Amino acid sequence: MIDMKRVKLKVMGISYSQTQSGAYALILIEENGERRIPIIIGGFEAQAIVIKLENLDPPRPITHDLFKKFADEFDISIIEVMISKLEEGVFFSKLVCTNGIKEYSIDSRTSDAVALALRFGCPIFITEEILEKAGIIINPTDSEISPANEIENFFEPDNSKFSSYSIEELYKLIDEAVKTEDYERAASVRDEIEKRNKKKT
């Protein structure tokens, strides 16, 4: 087997598309560099990732949380996630798992793989070849972001609808959103709070 150079990634965030209904962009960035990988994912997968990124506590476990609990019960862990292939703009990943005795490699959608990586606390890797092909370097002076792999741009969430709320009201909105399992709304409110906190510093 050819030994491919691997690059470690970290999750930069999730943004909502204002032009593609129901589409989200998962943004991954190389740990020791500036290249970013934007991956278009669906609402359910975006929700699963946002829950962990925002440290939200859903009243009922979603599918990825259930998978983690199931794996824990049977002493199975995910060692790493590997984004191993890119075909026609679609990323393919593998979950490298172990039961303490043997390692297994399981095919996975990249969005699911990242959601699980966040829950297992395992690293995410990509081949240098794929990163070279699909990676984007953002120039801070650019007014627009160049497309890559037919992805139009990085999506900016619309949090302006929360600008009239007080901080206390925003925290209440988060609690209500979590109780009703509306994690997309909770994340948007959290973004508004963080934006205000940054302005204070």
Helix/strand/coil for 12: strand
On whether both 201 and 167 belong to a single domain, the answer is yes
Please enumerate in sequence order all residues whose Cβ is within 8 A of that of 24, keeping only pairs 6 or more positions apart, or say none: 14, 15, 16, 17, 40, 41, 42, 43, 45, 46, 155
Amino acid 177: pLDDT: 75
Both structure tokens of 5: 């150079």
CATH of the domain at 58: 3.10.690.10
On whether both 112 and 182 belong to a single domain, the answer is no
Please enumerate in sequence order all residues whose Cβ is within 8 A of that of 47, keeping only pairs 6 or more positions apart, or say none: 62, 183, 184
On whether both 136 and 166 belong to a single domain, the answer is no
On whether both 54 and 135 belong to a single domain, the answer is yes
Q: What does pTM read for this prediction?
A: 0.70
On whether both 126 and 181 belong to a single domain, the answer is no
On whether both 37 and 105 belong to a single domain, the answer is yes
On whether both 119 and 198 belong to a single domain, the answer is no
Own/partner long-range contacts of 32-37 (Cβ < 8 Å, ≥24 apart): 32/8, 33/7, 34/137, 34/138, 35/131, 35/135, 35/136, 35/137, 36/12, 36/135, 36/136, 36/137, 36/138, 36/154, 37/9, 37/83, 37/91, 37/126, 37/131, 37/134, 37/135, 37/136
Does residue 88 lie within any of the structural domains?
A: yes
On whether both 161 and 73 belong to a single domain, the answer is no
Amino acid 43: pLDDT: 84
Helix/strand/coil for 161: helix
Number of domain units in the chain:
2
On whether both 133 and 173 belong to a single domain, the answer is no
Does residue 118 lie within any of the structural domains?
A: yes
Q: Which domain holds residue 104?
A: 6-140+151-156
Does residue 36 lie within any of the structural domains?
A: yes
Does residue 146 lie within any of the structural domains?
A: no
Amino acid 161: pLDDT: 64
On whether both 80 and 167 belong to a single domain, the answer is no
Helix/strand/coil for 102: coil
Q: pLDDT digit of tens for each residue in the chain (201 aa)?
A: 344 699 999 999 887 765 555 678 899 999 988 899 988 888 888 889 988 988 888 888 899 999 999 999 999 999 999 999 999 888 999 999 999 999 999 999 999 999 999 999 999 999 999 999 988 887 654 444 433 333 334 444 444 567 777 888 888 887 787 777 677 677 777 777 777 777 766
Helix/strand/coil for 73: helix
